[in-house]
Each structure stands twice: as C-alpha cells, then as structure tokens.
Amino acid sequence: MKQIPPADLNDFLSEDLSRKQAFIQHIGKAFEEIGFLALKGHFLDPNLQEQLYTEIRTFFELPTSIKKRYEIDGGGGQRGYTGFGKEHAAGRSVGDLKEFWHFGQDIISKPHLKKHYPKNLIVKELSDFNRIGNLVFQKLEHTAEVLLRALALYLKLGEHYFTPFIQDGNSILRAIHYPPITEAPKEAERAAAHGDINLITLLMGAQGAGLQVLNRENQWIDAVAQGDELMVNIGDMLSRLTNNRLPSTIHRVVNPPKEAWGVSRYSLPFFMHPIPQMPLNCLDQTIDEQHPKQFDDILAGDFLNQRLVALGLLEK
C-alpha cells in the first residue's frame, strides 16, 4: 500500500446497515494492511481545533523558566510539560527535537482510578488553556470510542467490548512543539521511528509534510491529511490484544529541508489508553496454527510503565 486510505465516520453512524458494514470492513482491512487511516466525519470542529492551536502556540512561546514550573520530576512525562530533547524512541539514546505538554483524563465515572493517574496541571498564565484542551480531549475520546466499536465488530467481538476498559481510561492529549532547527542535527530527528504504546492514536496536525509511515513493503511513505481529516493509527496495546492481526505501524517525523529549518511545527496526537487493569492478553480468535500466540499476558498499566522506561521518561 503506497498511500493512507481514507474513511468517513458518518458511514459507521449511518442507519444504512450496508454502509455501516462496508465501513467496518474497510477500516479493518486498512489497519491490517498499513495500520493507518485518514478519517473524516470525526467530532472535532475546525473552530475548536484552531482555538487549541492558538493556546499551545502561546504556551510554547512562554519563557523556558515558566514552562519548567510545569515539569514533574519522576512523573514519566505523563502530565504537564516535558522539556526539549527529553524523550527518545525505544532503542535510541538521542533525544527527539521536540517539547510537549500532556492533558490527561478528568475522571468522572470511576473515582477509584484517581490514585492511579497523575493530576492534570493548570497553567496559571493562560486562562483558557486547560478548558480548551479538555474540550478537545473529550471530542477526540468520543471519536476514538466510536472507532473502537467498529473495530470490535470487525474482530467478531461485541460492539461495546472496549467500552468498560476505555471509560475513564488513562488517555492523554499531547501538544507537541517542534522548534526551529538552529544547527545541523547530527543524529536527532523531530521524532525518530517508533510505534505508539496505546490502543489507537488520533492525530491533529498532519496537514503538513513530515510524518512518514513504514508500510508492509518496508518503504517510507508520506502521511499527509486533508484539513478535515484526522490521521489514525494502531498502537502496540491493540497489536498485542489482536496477536498482531492489527499491527502497530512504525512511523516518524523527519526533519524538514534546510530552507524550512526556521519554522516551528505543531501536532496534537490523542493517545487512547484503557484503564490500567485491562488485560492485553491475545484474543482467542486471533490464535491458531498459522498464527501462534506472539505476546505474553500483561496488564495495560504494567505495559505502559515498561514502555515509559524504554523511552527514557521513567527510571527502572
């Protein structure tokens, strides 16, 4: 596959059963064959997107001394600010050319989870920053929930199989700033090749060049969304759950050509995580003689901690 397949969420929400079934099969095959999808019909309107872009640009323009007030030592970068170059891809030691902020879950229905999640940090300097971030979080979470309903049906599960695991899940909305490049990077990239940790990722900000996907022929292809599209991809947790039937696709953000070094890049991925207690054990229907079990049983919370250590965000 040489390009990212498109889809429209309105097809799944349609009362036309044939249209809904076609959507289920289309996205299932797309995720099997390349692991990425360009999605229209999501619940995030353009005005809200632009409001969040305005807020995050303003935040990242704050002095470093102020931003560092929101950096939590030993927090694994799970909430608040993470400084430039702190995160690296698994297996690498060179930090990525980015800084970022994490909005987390505001727990509603499962108060017992509060002891498991870090608290969200409130940016005092920007009165609308957290409010707008939380609204976007909710819209993307809703979109991800509907997509997982469709994938559950594709996997021959009940439509709401994922629902108890993702309600008040440990999801995060990451606001990323790739600052202007001031000198030739030696080995660093804006985001080195990696797979995501979570169930699925919904990405705002893939309208510009930079994001690339490694397809099944081991070729890097550009992943550029239209203005009304989110880029969606499978994460490692869903790959484990499906015994790699829905593989987590490796992707990266490459450095721009030298003439564009002076321009910042922003992106906003929403990482849909389940509650920490969700088992990521391979589904029975994904295991047979041709497809032996590839992964050990593990809970989502334990898997997340393993990966944060590998990314250099937590100590062993």
Range of the domain at 199: 6-310
Is residue 316 situated within a structural domain? no
Classify burial at 152, counting beta carbons within 10 Å of its beta carbon; exposed 0-12, middle 13-18, buried 19 or more. middle
Q: What is the pLDDT of residue 75?
A: 75
Is residue 315 situated within a structural domain? no
* Mean pLDDT value across the chain: 91
| CATH code of the domain covering residue 86 | 2.60.120.330
Q: How many domains does the chain have?
A: 1
Q: What is the pLDDT of residue 178?
A: 87
Q: What is the pLDDT of residue 65?
A: 96
Is residue 1 situated within a structural domain? no
Is residue 224 situated within a structural domain? yes
Q: What is the pLDDT of residue 265?
A: 87
pTM of the model: 0.92
- The token duo for 303 is 């898997």
List the one residue out of 172, 173, 206 whose CA is nearest residue 190: 206
pLDDT in tens, 88-117: 666 666 777 889 999 999 877 788 888 888
Is residue 127 situated within a structural domain? yes
Dist CA 13 CA 41 (whole Å): 10
Q: What is the pLDDT of residue 252?
A: 92
8 Å CB contact between 107 and 113: yes
pLDDT in tens, 11-44: 999 999 999 999 999 999 999 999 999 999 999 9
Dist CA 131 CA 127 (whole Å): 8
Is residue 149 situated within a structural domain? yes
